Structure 1
């Protein structure tokens, strides 16, 4: 590779930065942290719903990236490799604390294969903000009841907007299985939310 230019660090892609970091350029690692710190925080907070746990996981993820830099091979996207580390750390914390994941999801308009999750509630409240809050509470409750495998891919797809290919790599799951789990997970969420709405009207 050409000589690293710290003054032009923004122009390098993630994989270039990782390669320069492997060759001893600490500035390259700092740029990767800058690029992904907020995204990792957003991703991991949906698993922990605890700011301190989230901060600890973000720091531990970057520490693992730093310590394991020579295990990274350029044939993989840096982001996929990093998210795999973060997801494994989140799973470990989840098992340790026996916490349920809490997430919110949305439809990715840019993906024609993405199925919209329709949340219909005939009970319209006067306060729109309160109505939205109650819908989100029902959504989180429903997601907590999903099997781990379904919840995992929904988080990666709908929160982080990762591609099916990336999710397949991160979870070490065939592409067809990933798509099936996402669609089945969303269908289950819809069914559960309808049940909650019915219970609330009784």
Structure 2
């Protein structure tokens, strides 16, 4: 592999790297895989809660990205385009298996960069730890009570912390619909567990 080419690619933004891939620079695909494999794993793990299924989906996502590279247009961010592919694959897997396992708000143990819930009090008492664990468990169960549309936008917004614009592009729903679903999902979670406040919870 040409080191100079790789170094040049590493300094490019995602969209420029994708353009290089479209122009036949094969090293560009390796750069994209390197940048997104962990992010896609983290994203898809929230839907499958199964590392084997998650790995299959990540590989299939990259395969689709490569095969469909010429259909990508710079009017969309590369990340948004890839998340859309990944989400559609996850939905297809769900339909095939007729099940959706528990969405975890805990960190993915296989990903050292995955964000954990922040606890400011480093001297938290054992009783507090138990309460926190129980609260997180309640939230996980409450997420399962949401319909798929609500669950989807909550994962994208409150866990993946994507913008409303990105969620709109990924889900294909209008901006107003996205905001409405997020608000209604949060309201339902508050009814179910009483103290859900959105991103600050995580």
TM, length-normalised to structure 1:
0.80
Per-residue deviation, 1:29: 1.1
Q: How many matched pairs? A: 173
Distance in structure 1 (CA, Å) of the matches to 2:104 and 2:190: 14
1:55-74, CA deviations, whole angstroms, 9 ceiling, x for partnerless residues?
11111101110111111111
Per-residue deviation, 1:100: 4.1
What does residue 78 of structure 2 align with? 78
What does residue 44 of structure 2 align with? 44
What does residue 154 of structure 1 align with? 154
What does residue 109 of structure 2 align with? none
For residue 5 of structure 1, give the secondary structure of its aligned residue in structure 2: helix
Contact 1:94 1:100 in 2 (8 A): no
What does residue 13 of structure 2 align with? 13
Q: Show structure 1 runs of 4+ deviating over 3 A.
A: none
Unaligned runs of 5+ in 1: 106-124, 196-202
For residue 129 of structure 2, give the secondary structure of its aligned residue in structure 1: helix
Distance in structure 1 (CA, Å) of the matches to 2:163 and 2:188: 22
For residue 157 of structure 2, give the secondary structure of its aligned residue in structure 1: helix
TM, length-normalised to structure 2:
0.80
Contact 1:164 1:179 in 2 (8 A): yes
Contact 2:44 2:54 in 1 (8 A): yes
Distance in structure 2 (CA, Å) of the matches to 1:91 and 1:101: 14
